Structure 1
Amino acid sequence: MDMKTFSKSSLIISTYNWPEALRLCLLSVLEQSVLPDEVIVADDGSTGQTADVIEAMRPLFPVRLIHVWQEDNGFQLSKIRNKAIAMSSCDYIIQIDGDLILHRHFIKDHLTLSKRGSFVAGSRVLMTKELSEKMLDRRQARVTPFQSGLGNFTNRFSVAWLSRYMADRYKTHDIYALRGCNMAFWREDLLRVNGYNEVFHGWGREDNEIAVRLLNSGVRKRAAKFGGVVFHIYHPEVDRARCPKNEAYLTEALLNKTVYCREGVHQYLAHVEPVGLAEREFAL
């Protein structure tokens, strides 16, 4: 497939107060065989250390590196992702978390899988605490699939023909077979359903709920299997106290066949700065 035929892509990276991991993530972006057209760091209230990492790395990036920040008011991932989506200037949005190291063909794989009328859900490879600490200490952003300290064996490999074969065959109707740390969408589809639902606070289910609304709107789910590979840097599990309430919001969307949420991305679209100013940091 000719890469020149693809629409422009934004890579949105969500982060919160882990600048060391974000540095590795950004370094792995620079290693990509195909770069995104812009990179947007969606920052849910980190301290100035995260901004310092972004500023230090900005001269290394041949594409725009944008920092979208909001005040720390608890876990508000849906809100900061919406602000980043509003800031995006590209047709296709690839979404990850800042605690991932990307396989060098990650962006290329996602662009290959992109198809109008669908969104893509990928998986991840877990790294042990020991391997994660070693890579953070060495600022090493390249992972080889057979090195020790990796789990999820079949998720480690990028195989283009197998990825294309699996895309419409692997759990395409399972809303639980996805992770918000590795997804991709057409921006127009996100705007149609009003992006992420900001009633979600705390960890969990905001990614499943947006998938439900996209499916209800007629957008199909495709899988990034044997493609779109990411390696997850170890950290302790986050607080899941809000998960039962978030589960209830997900159940409501399923039962009501919801398409559009009330508190979503459209509230930010009128406040987006012109693209020419995108190299600055923004607090929306």
Structure 2
Amino acid sequence: MTVSLIISTYNWPEALELVLLSVAEQSVMPDQIVIADDGSDARTATIINSFKHRFPIEHVWHEDNGFQKTLILNKALRVCKTDYIIEIDGDIILHKHFVKDHLAAAQKGYFVQGSRAMIGETLSKISLQQKRLSFSCLTKGMTTRFNAIRFPLLSSLFKTDPCSSHNVKGCNLAFWLEDYVRINGYFNGFTGWGWEDYEFAERLINSGIKKKRLKWAAVGFHIFHPLSSRANFKPNELIYRETVNNKMWHRSPGFHEVAGI
């Protein structure tokens, strides 16, 4: 089984540098690393280029036209050549066994939601300055200590509704590429932030793919930042509700509509 790590980013090269430093320390390296760049300026390209001597990175970029995360993810997935996909945001520092844990949890017929531990505002500022990569549930300044625990032997104790898209977060998500392609990937009709990962998960579930919750394994540490604009929250929620109510598993435009870009 081969795996790609997809990292979405937008104009925060300082955070992306920490993420890539944590990738370099993985106990199991992904076969492919793709940056899904939603229109960042040249600073992000500079950071990415500085890592190319450590491991191959593919940088998929389009012009900045507002929040278009779903579109750039679909473009990034067009270049993936692996069986399995791990998707993270460009503000998620990875535990050194992050990829290893996700591969251990991979199972046909399932997508996997990993854990996100929140780094507090003060600790985040210090970590960015000092390029800190190591965190745990005992680290002073963590705001969600429970999610910072890594104890994969007990991970199976945590159960979730396998047919619920509630609380799915694209910042730490894994799925089979063939499942992604079949449901036409992310829906490009979203404008601005909100609901795109819930809607994607709902279509996976409607297509017969179940959700697996991975707790105390595949831990990602989220760097604090102010909340994104919620201006399109309600219109985006209506798209999600339509998918739920009509049990939709395929939407256009999506992955196939960005072919050739």
TM-score range relative to shorter protein = over 0.9
Superposed CA offset, 1:23-77 (max 9, x none):
000000111111111110000000000000000111012xx21100011000000
- Write the mapping of 1:65-76 to structure 2, written as runs, cut at 5 A: 65-76=57-68
Q: Which residue of 2 aligns with 1:266?
A: 256
1:211 and 1:202 map into 2 onto residues whose CA distance is 18
Q: Matches of 2:103 and 2:156 in 1, distance apart? A: 11
Corresponding residue of 2:134: 142
Offset of 1:164 from its aligned partner?
3.5
Identity rate of aligned residues, in percent?
A: 45
Instruction: Kindly state the Cα deviation for residue 171 of structure 1 after the two structures are TM-superposed.
Output: 3.6
Other-structure match for 1:276: none
Greater Cα offset, 140-149 or 69-78? 140-149
Q: Is the 8 A contact 1:123 1:178 kept in 2?
A: no
Is 1:243 paired with 2:233? yes
Match of 1:114 among 106, 110, 117: 106
**How many residues get paired?**
261
From 6, 31, 54, the equivalent of 1:12 is 6
Contact map agreement 2:137 2:147 (CA 8 A) in 1? no
SS state of the match for residue 124, structure 1?
Answer: strand
The residue that corresponds to 1:212 in the other structure is: 202
The answer on 1:161 being equivalent to 2:153 is yes
Alpha-carbon distance between aligned partners in 2 of 1:196 and 1:185, rounded to the nearest angstrom: 13
**Equivalent of residue 152 in structure 1, options 144, 147, 151:** 144
**Amino acid paired to 1:11:** L
Specify the alignment match of 2:168 in structure 1.
178
Does the 8 Å CA contact 2:184/2:255 hold for their aligned counterparts? yes
CA deviation map 1:4-38 (0-9, x unaligned): xxx10000000000000000000001111111111
Q: In structure 1, how many angstroms separate the alpha carbons of the residues matched to 2:76 and 2:192? A: 18
Give structure 2 stretches of 5+ with no counterpart.
none
**Matching of residue 226 in structure 1 with residue 220 in structure 2:** no
Q: Answer yes or no: is 1:90 the counterpart of 2:87.
A: no
Moved more, 141-150 or 116-125: 141-150
Match of 1:53 among 47, 55, 75: 47
Answer yes or no: is the 8 Å Cα contact 1:100–1:233 preserved in 2.
Answer: yes
Structure 1 CA distance for aligned equivalents of residues 134 and 33 of structure 2: 19
Which segment drifts farther, 14-23 or 126-135? Answer: 126-135
Give 1:127 deviation, angstroms. Answer: 0.9
Alpha-carbon separation, structure 1, partners of 2:180 and 2:163: 19
1:216 touches 1:257 (CA, 8 Å); kept in 2? Answer: yes
Deviation at 1:113, TM superposition (A): 0.6
Aligned residue identity for 1:223: R
SS in 2 for 1:202: coil
What letter is aligned with 2:230? R
In structure 2, what is the equivalent of residue 191 of structure 1?
A: 181
Does the C-alpha gap of structure 1 residues 44 and 93 become closer, same or farther in structure 2, counting only changes over 3 Å?
same
| Equivalent residue number for residue 130 of structure 1 | 122
Q: 2:10·2:40 contact (CA, 8 Å) conserved in 1? A: yes
Alpha-carbon contact 1:106-1:227 (below 8 Å) kept:
yes
Between the aligned partners of 1:14 and 1:240, the Cα distance in structure 2 is: 19
Task: Return the letter of the residue paired with 1:215.
Answer: I
CA distance in 2, matches of 1:151, 1:121: 20
Deviation at 1:138, TM superposition (A): 1.1
TM-score, reference length from structure 1: 0.89
Kept in 2, the 8 Å contact 1:11–1:39? The answer is yes
SS of 1:40's equivalent?
A: strand
Q: CA RMSD for the aligned pairs?
A: 1.1
Q: Deviations over 1:218-253 (max 9, x none)?
A: 001101111110111011111010010000000000
Letter in 1 for 2:221: F
Contact 1:121/1:224, CA 8 A, preserved across alignment: yes
- 8 A Cα contact 2:8 2:89, kept in partner: yes
